[in-house]
Chains A and B, each alone.
Chain A
């Protein structure tokens, strides 16, 4: 057996060993994707970004299906006025929120359902300093939204409606990938 062939066999054995202990790491050079069928046309069924937005602001039934099938670039024109009506139904005393937004400005932001994400700042829905720079797992997004809907310009209005007093998840999150906790 030539040195080259010995080397090849050793190399194959090493590769096989690596593959066998890392069978969940897709680190081989082959692309199994090439042998599978991914053809076809796929059509939007649901769309989501900010938490609870379309469920709060869009009526049940067909309107929700319509919103779920909408694309963000078309949402503002179609849904801002609907969102504003909903906001004022929820809080007829709404003038401005703690971000200084009028009903039109606030619903103009919300009706385009995207998550604003920073690549440079801390990523959070709101942490007292950063506003809408992402959504972290532990963010109390509902309290943020309740405060902006019910809390008035200072955040102090309607104190019994501006927080739900559920402040954390029922399981601790991980610090490493995949971060989300194991299932119950």
Chain B
């Protein structure tokens, strides 16, 4: 048996990839639910681009009403020395119709609790509206975007679930992209590599942090 899976094991593996709707506290459409994180070289290869997507599986009809939450800060964490502790953070949070960015800057404290590094304000951008052209901003070499985008993730999640459930033995060809035609709320920031420390490699992760 290829999958060696008991029903007990399967029941604990209800997969909602990539991290779309991944836990009770990060339910569908929630501003705290991160669906995917991307880190790649920009068009200008001296820059890195970080994209953090939230609120997965938005239908086109639901996208116009999707909002960022003023109590939820999105934080990109960057480790320069390989200890998986953040040395730099880029923080973003909504106020009114704009997204405000702070950093890259050393965090006040590392770990699960943060304050916003207001002294390191790096720029802001008007949040783009559904159905209109992307609004972007640029300041000190950084570029900013916040708003709805097509979900760039693709996966035949439906067939994978069938495999886990034992009702299929393999993927279909061609497969069916479960995430086709769905949107996410994206936060995208492009940063000169020179602002990200002197190490040649980084460890990067995203967090959502809620105001207490």
Question: Hey, which bits of chain A sit against chain B, CB under 8 A?
Answer: 23-27, 31-34, 36, 38-49, 51-52, 54-56, 59-62, 64-65, 67-69, 71-73, 75, 86, 88-93, 112-120, 122-124, 134-137, 140-142, 150, 158, 160-161, 163-171, 173, 175-184
Contact = CB atoms under 8 A, between A and B. Distances in A.
Given A24-B135, A60-B23, A117-B39, A178 B149 contact: yes
A115 B190 CA distance: 17
Contacts of B38: 135-137
B200 interface: yes
A177 B5 contact: no
B48 A123 contact: yes
Kindly name the residue among B131, B199, B203 whose own CB sees the greatest number of chain A CB atoms within 10 A: B203
Main secondary structure, interface of A, reads loop
Contact of B176 (A52, A166, A176): A166
A179 B17 CA distance: 22
A180 B15 CA distance: 25
Given A118-B201, A161-B170, A178 B60 contact: no
A102 to B, nearest CB: 17
Nearest to A160: B170
B90 interface: no
Contacts of B63: 183-184
Nearest to A150: B2
Contacts of A88: 4
Q: Which 9 A-B pairs have the closest CB atoms?
A: A160-B170, A92-B4, A64-B23, A42-B209, A59-B12, A49-B205, A178-B145, A165-B175, A51-B18
Contacts of B40: 123-124, 134-137
Residue from B32, B111, B171 with most neighbouring chain A CB atoms (10 Å): B171
A118 B212 contact: no
B139 A169 contact: no
Interface of B: 1-6, 9, 12-19, 22-26, 32-43, 48-49, 51, 58, 60, 63, 72-73, 75, 77, 79, 83-85, 93, 95, 98, 100, 110-116, 118, 121, 123-126, 130-131, 134-139, 143-145, 148-150, 152-156, 159-160, 163, 169-177, 179-183, 186, 188, 190, 193, 196, 199-212
Contacts of B204: 49, 114-117
B84 A112 contact: yes
Given A64-B23, A69-B112, A182 B13 contact: no
28 contacts: A27-B139, A36-B100, A38-B95, A40-B116, A41-B115, A46-B32, A47-B205, A48-B34, A48-B35, A48-B36, A52-B155, A56-B17, A71-B112, A88-B4, A92-B4, A93-B2, A119-B48, A135-B37, A142-B155, A161-B171, A164-B160, A177-B190, A178-B149, A180-B188, A181-B149, A182-B134, A183-B183, A184-B63
A38 B176 CA distance: 43
B183 A164 contact: no
Contact of B182 (A90, A114, A140, A184): A184
Nearest to B64: A183
B84 A72 contact: yes
Given A59-B13, A60-B14, A184 B212 contact: no
